[in-house]
Structure 1
Amino acid sequence: MTTDEVIEARKVLGRKLRGLREASGYTQQGLADLLGYSRPRVAGAERGESCSALFWQGCDRLLDTGGVLTSTYHEIEGIRRTEARKAAEAERIRRAVDAGGIPQIKEDGGKVLAGFAARSHKFIAAFVGARAAEQVMSLSNARTTQDRHWISCQSAPFAHSSGQCELHVWPFGVAIFHLVEELAMPNITSLALWRMRSYAENLAWATANLRRLTGLDDVSASYVLSAYWVTEPGWPESTLDDALRTICTPRILLQREARFLESEREDAEQAERRVLTNGHDGSGIEPFGLSGLSVGYASWSGVVYHPMVPDQALAESDLVACELATQAIWAYCEHINRQVEFGLDPVLPEEHGWRFLRGARSRLVNPRPQETGQHRSMRDAIVKTSGLLGHLDQAIDIVRQSQG
């Protein structure tokens, strides 16, 4: 629940944005286009609606404000998070009193569910084909992103109502929407429920937009992979690792036949308490943090990272670049392998055949001279838990036989 203080502060921030925008000569649509958001998102921000830190950072950059909008946003978020924690604690106490179990939720070394703030990075992937990829790149006015460590692509801002989004397109036929959303969750159960509910919406949204861009009715987004950059953990140090492992695999809190309804929340919160009390066994998870500087975990379900010392930890862009490259090749190999499963010989451009795949494997697996130990550990953990190498080796063999 948003307090009157936060509501009024957001309205003041919105009025400040409007004044700066008009002074710079931008219309709402013009600013939205440059930011990669929709016009209603800019209009909503000026009315006092909640927007992400990335939105305000973009406004500061375009309007040359010296960071005043982002700074104000963080002050407001600090107030909101404090109020949210108070409300969540009050609700926990109320539930405990109703259940006659108030002693069970007293402060006891991390067993209490805690809130946290994070940025959610969703990678929504699809194979559209090389010809359609070229069309999408031309329609989107995409810019080329060169990266010697990973796999070069073209990208462009893409409007989305819930956060900052970019569409990345590779010439071998893969498109990935990278959607960034600011989260403030009262507990990990809330993340698990939100994540599973939003995935269906994300896939439908991506599919509709890709079909519009390509003109192909058989194009579909195939999966969503999430990474969470935890900025404000609410757990004590003794529970932090178990909490982050659970964020990496949030599905473990939900029953196998879960429908992701609010009625399932209580059972999921009890599961969360058990994990934080007894510990997460770490199965299927690879760590890649550096003691005292950061905590990071990768799994088949996704990735979580908390920079304890931001200036010495990995940059957020490093994790994003690694995931984009990994998921691009994963989606390409998935297409190749499915063609074989359907009894077809994959037809691929010569320049993106088995030699290209072999080179991509080298880029993803072999360390680079300028890499730090943290970069290498991150790459190894993400590639290993994604199952990409087996997927990639099978695709190389298939294409090699087809192309000779």
Structure 2
Amino acid sequence: MKVLVIGRGGREHSLVQKFAESPQVTKVYAAPGNAGMEEDAECVPVSETSHGELVAFAQESGVDVTFVGPENPLLDGVVDAFKEAGLLVFGPTQEAALIEGSKHYAKQVMKKYSIPTADYEAFKNAEEAKAYIQKKGAPIVVKADGLAAGKGVVVAETTDQAVEAVDEMLLDRRFGEASKEIVVEEFLQGEEFSLMAFVNGESVYPMVTARDHKRAYEGDEGPNTGGMGAFAPAHDLSEGDYEFAVENILNQTASALVKEGRSFTGILYAGLIQTSEGPKVIEFNARFGDPETQVVLPLLENDLLQVILDVLDDRDPRLAWKDQACAGVVVASAGYPGSYKKGVPLPEWSKQPGLFVVHAGTKKADQTYVSDGGRVLLFGKTADNLETALRDVNQALTVFDASEDFFYRKDIGQSAVVSSNKNIE
């Protein structure tokens, strides 16, 4: 079978790698893809947003299944375009993807169907938002309503910071149309984790948990990014809390979307936090998380293509997971998530047994990989325990230590390792 992956980032490279493992797959295409994907896929120079061209390519090339990676084409209706053309595609329709496209809408669904989340109010008027903040106090969270590439969230430690965030979003329109409305919500205390599932209507097949690191710098300092690294599974979640999250969050949300006339097919991502009252929702995404995908898929024992075919046919894919840990650390361009240089040559790294490299923002120039984005690469490893996986990844990353053009966090997953070691003692 021929598979088309739409997208160009690390998440999509990870998908390409997984599809390439399938004995059923004869050809993988990536549109537009990136330099690293060329090892496993044929990259097609068609943008994620060119729906007509993507449909035409799939038809002309005899593509059997299309997988949509990023959120923007989903919100723009690419799945609808493929379905109208009679093509098999895995991803939510434009209507269903609104669960990610509007934080206000997601909150309304959670409130209506008693899905556990933080208290909130939504605002289009800056003065009303500021009055609410003064009334509630800090810490408090301010979010742009729409898509902001993982950067439209401010966790304000003081009311002044929250008020500044309101001005930036509503008045200065820092995120354009995405911040014409904001959600101001209660600050929740606890450890965050991600829980994703393959979904078709009310059928939900959950994956292992993962934990990513959003802050740019070590010690969880600095601005929010799209994610600087991740590991799976999240070590400190009890089986009871996992089952609660599946039943009361994933299953309940899938059922709610069916009732709302926005039946969801694709990957439902729940960004959760483990509070003293149990897991609660921070956000929903309508697709695989990035970089969580890069550490979850290597633990999946199933053939990914067969999983998708089963889910689309309403058959239980009987997901099986390796009894191991997987860790991934992102190499980013200096300056990210702010401004940064592109076209910087990457140092050569040695291919080590079990180590995998996922390209996120790279291209080729004179047969050499050069940077082409904020998040450039992810180095990952699957091992019997998290400590071993992280040790090997960090050892491989030392090739970047001499460069002023790139940086990575050396503390990804370290608190989990310390916690696990204490439990063993």
TM exceeds 0.5? no
Larger helix percent: 1
Query: How does the TM-score come out when normalised to structure 1?
Result: 0.28
Q: TM-score, normalised by structure 2?
A: 0.27
